C-alpha cells in the first residue's frame, strides 16, 4: 500500500483513499521525471533520495486539501511535486550542514557523493521545483519564493542562535515556524488554491498547516528524548548529542530548579561522550520539562483543530482532524 506519511490510511474514506493513491502515483512519477537530466551523473544523484522513499507528507497534504475543490485540476499534482522537491532539496543541504551519514535508511547524499555534489544536487532540485511553479503562474511562483525565503531564514536563525536579549524559547519557535512549518503550510495551501477552493478555505488550510507542522516538529523534539528506537528507528538523543537546542532542554534552561544543577552541567558539556550522554538522557526523561513540552505540542495541535471547525464536514476535514490526534499521540 502506498505511504501517505502520518495519515492513518485505515481511517481514510475508501473513495478519498483511492483518489489520493492515484494522485500520489502521479506525483512519484513526476518526481523521477523532474530529477532527470541529459547528464546521467546528475540524474543519479538527484534521484538518490527520491528512490529511497520517505513519508511524502507534504504532497499528501496538497492532494488532500485539493478535495475542497477540483482535486483533478492539473496544478494540484504539479505543485505537490514541487513541494516535495523543495523538501528533498533542503534534506540535501541539511545533511551537509549536520554532517549526517544516514538518511531514510541509506547513506546520506553527502556520505555517498561528497559535500560538494550534495549541495549542488540540492540546488538542482530547487531549480526543478521553480521550473514547475513557473508553469503555474505568477501567484504560485511568489508563494514558492516566499516559502523558500522562510526556509533559508529559519536555517540561518538556527545556525546563528538567538540575538542578544532575545528570548531563546521565542527564537526557537520562530525557527520551527520558518524552517519546518512554512513548507507544510504551503503544501496545504497549494492543494486548495490549485483546486479552486473558496478563498476562506485556502486561508484556513494554510494556517492549519502552520500549526500542525509546528506540532509535528515539537513531537519530534520530544521523541528524540523519550522515543523508543525500536519503534522510531532512530537513536534516542541525537539532538542532545549534537548540542541542538530543543523545546525540552530550553524549558530546563528557562526555569532551572535547584536539583537541575547536574543536568545543566551535562547540557553544557560534550555529550558525544556516551557515558555523559546516557546520564543526560536519563535525567531529561524524568524531568518535568518533558511533560511541559508535551503540553505545548498539544496546544499547537488543538489550535490547528480549531481552524477546521468552519470547514465543510466530510472525509477531507476528518482526515485533517486525525493529523492533530496523530501529532499528540506520538508523544502521549
pLDDT tens per residue, range 262-298:
999 999 999 989 999 999 999 999 999 999 999 999 9
Domain encompassing residue 182: 12-197
Residues 207 and 192 in one domain: no
* Average pLDDT over the chain, rounded to an integer: 88
**Residue 4 counted as domain residue:** no
Question: Of 158, 180, 197, which marks where a domain is finished?
Answer: 197
Q: How far is CA 327 from CA 68, 72, 149, 151, 226, in A?
A: 23, 28, 26, 22, 15
Report pLDDT digits (tens) over 218-244: 998 898 898 765 444 456 788 888 888
The number of C-alpha atoms within 13 Å of 70 and in the hemisphere containing its C-beta is 6
CATH number at residue 173: 1.10.600.10
Q: What angle do CA 61, 291, 160 make, to 5 degrees?
A: 65
Cα 34 to Cα 132: distance, rounded to the nearest angstrom? 9
pLDDT at position 232: 44
Residues 6 or more apart whose CB falls under 8 angstroms from that of 173 comprise: 214
Give residue 135's Cα distance to chain centre.
25
**Residue 209 counted as domain residue:** yes
- Which has the closest alpha carbon to 237: 222, 259, 251, 252? 222
Question: Of 178, 197, 216, which marks where a domain is finished?
Answer: 197
Residues 82 and 55 in one domain: yes
Residue 99 has pLDDT above 70, yes or no: no
- Helix (H) / strand (E) element for 107: namely strand 106-107
To which residue does cell 543536568 refer? 263
Cα 90 to Cα 96: distance, rounded to the nearest angstrom? 10
pLDDT at position 230: 46
Nine-digit cell string for 248: 525540552
| pTM, 2 dp | 0.91
Amino acid at each position: 500500500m502506498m505511504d501517505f506519511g502520518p495519515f492513518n490510511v485505515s481511517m481514510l474514506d475508501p473513495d478519498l483513499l483511492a483518489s489520493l493513491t492515484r494522485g500520489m502515483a502521479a506525483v512519484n512519477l513526476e518526481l523521477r521525471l523532474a530529477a532527470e537530466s541529459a547528464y546521467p551523473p546528475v540524474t543519479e544523484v538527484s534521484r538518490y533520495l527520491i528512490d529511497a522513499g520517505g513519508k511524502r507528507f507534504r504532497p499528501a497534504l496538497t492532494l488532500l486539501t485539493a478535495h475542497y475543490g477540483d482535486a483533478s485540476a492539473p496544478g494540484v499534482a504539479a505543485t505537490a511535486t514541487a513541494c516535495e522537491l523543495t523538501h528533498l532539496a533542503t534534506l540535501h543541504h541539511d545533511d551537509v550542514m549536520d554532517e549526517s551519514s544516514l538518511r531514510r535508511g541509506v547513506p546520506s547524499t553527502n556520505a555517498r557523493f561528497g559535500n560538494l555534489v550534495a549541495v549542488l544536487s540540492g540546488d538542482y532540485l530547487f531549480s526543478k521545483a521553480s521550473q514547475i511553479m513557473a508553469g503555474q503562474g505568477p501567484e504560485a511562483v511568489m508563494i514558492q519564493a516566499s516559502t523558500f525565503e522562510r526556509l533559508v531564514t529559519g536555517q540561518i536563525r538556527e545556525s546563528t542562535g538567538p540575538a542578544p536579549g532575545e528570548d531563546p524559547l521565542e527564537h526557537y519557535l520562530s525557527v520551527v515556524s520558518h524552517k519546518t512549518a512554512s513548507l507544510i503550510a504551503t503544501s496545504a495551501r497549494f492543494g486548495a488554491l490549485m483546486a479552486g477552493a473558496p478563498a476562506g478555505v485556502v486561508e484556513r488550510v494554510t494556517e492549519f498547516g502552520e500549526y500542525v507542522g509546528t506540532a509535528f516538529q515539537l513531537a519530534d523534539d520530544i521523541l528524540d528524548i523519550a522515543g523508543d528506537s525500536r519503534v522510531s528507528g532512530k537513536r534516542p538523543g541525537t539532538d542532545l548529542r549534537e548540542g541542538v537546542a530543543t523545546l525540552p532542554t530550553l524549558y530546563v534552561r528557562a526555569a532551572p530548579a535547584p536539583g537541575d544543577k547536574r543536568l545543566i552541567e551535562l547540557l553544557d558539556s560534550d555529550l558525544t561522550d556516551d557515558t555523559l550522554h546516557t546520564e543526560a538522557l536519563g535525567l531529561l526523561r524524568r524531568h518535568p520539562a518533558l511533560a511541559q513540552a508535551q503540553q505545548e505540542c498539544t496546544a499547537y495541535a488543538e489550535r490547528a483543530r480549531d481552524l477546521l471547525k468552519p470547514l465543510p464536514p466530510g472525509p477531507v476535514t476528518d482526515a485533517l482532524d486525525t493529523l492533530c490526534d496523530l501529532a499528540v499521540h506520538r508523544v502521549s
